[in-house]
């Protein structure tokens, strides 16, 4: 064999290996995209037939759609893991990933919770409440209540 044919064979072998590796990585790309979604366990404070449970399920559908299916929320009704009034503690303790509830259910923990859960407060509408919460300092008071005063490792929002 000549030097030329050995080099050609070596070149063809290396090319075939490189081509195979490229094809393999191309075939592997869909596997990365098809990874299992992240599933968040969220319990509500509502029974399964309650309209608020439907709102939670609608929220879960929107999150899944917006994430392209990469994030799913497993919505559980009150009592599935803990009682309706214990969801906040369950999230804080890591038993649940999320909760769909209202702050007035924490009234026994701190009476200031009623400020955020007995609305519409101040005689206003739900729109007024949201404006106060997001633009008038309510969110900071909510964070102060839940994290600083009640000592919870949770982040909540209204809406």
pLDDT digits (tens, 9 = 90+) for 49-101: 999 999 999 999 999 999 999 999 999 999 999 999 999 999 999 999 999 99
Report the number of distinct structural domains present in the chain.
Answer: 3
Asked if the peptide bond before residue 38 counts as cis, ω within 30 degrees of 0, the response is: no
Read off the tokens for 147. Answer: 């994290």
* DSSP of 46-69: S-TTSHHHHHHHHHHHHHHHHTTT
**Whether residues 126 and 109 fall in one domain:** yes
Residue finishing a domain among 76, 101, 126: 101
**Whether residues 84 and 107 fall in one domain:** no
pTM, rounded to two decimals: 0.72
Q: Are 147 and 92 in contact (CB under 8 A)?
A: no
**Whether residues 47 and 96 fall in one domain:** yes
**Whether residues 96 and 108 fall in one domain:** no
Q: pLDDT tens-digit profile of 15-35?
A: 555 555 554 544 555 555 568
Between CA 87 and CA 73, with CA 82 as vertex, the angle to 5 degrees is: 65
**Whether residues 66 and 24 fall in one domain:** no
DSSP-derived secondary structure letter, 76: E
Q: pLDDT tens-digit profile of 93-141?
A: 999 999 999 888 888 889 888 888 766 556 678 888 888 889 999 999 9
Give the structural domain span for 121: 102-159
What is the torsion angle, in degrees rounded to the nearest 10, for the CA atoms of residue 76, residue 82, residue 87 and residue 88? -150
DSSP-derived secondary structure letter, 147: I
**Whether residues 128 and 154 fall in one domain:** yes
**Whether residues 106 and 96 fall in one domain:** no
Read off the tokens for 48. Answer: 């399964």
């Amino acid at each position: 064999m000549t030097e030329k044919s050995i080099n050609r064979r070596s070149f063809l072998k290396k090319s075939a290996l490189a081509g195979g590796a490229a094809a393999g990585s191309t075939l592997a790309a869909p596997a990365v995209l098809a990874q299992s979604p992240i599933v968040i366990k969220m319990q509500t404070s509502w029974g399964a037939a309650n309209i608020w449970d439907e709102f939670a399920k609608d929220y879960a559908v929107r999150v899944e759609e917006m994430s392209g299916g990469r994030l799913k929320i497993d919505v559980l009704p009150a009592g599935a893991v803990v009682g309706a009034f214990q969801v906040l503690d369950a999230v804080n303790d890591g038993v649940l990933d999320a909760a769909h509830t209202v702050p007035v259910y924490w009234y026994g923990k701190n009476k200031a919770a009623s400020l955020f859960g007995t609305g519409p407060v101040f005689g206003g509408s739900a729109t007024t409440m949201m404006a106060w919460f997001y633009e008038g300092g309510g969110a900071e008071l909510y964070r102060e209540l839940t994290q600083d005063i009640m000592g919870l490792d949770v982040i909540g929002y209204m809406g």
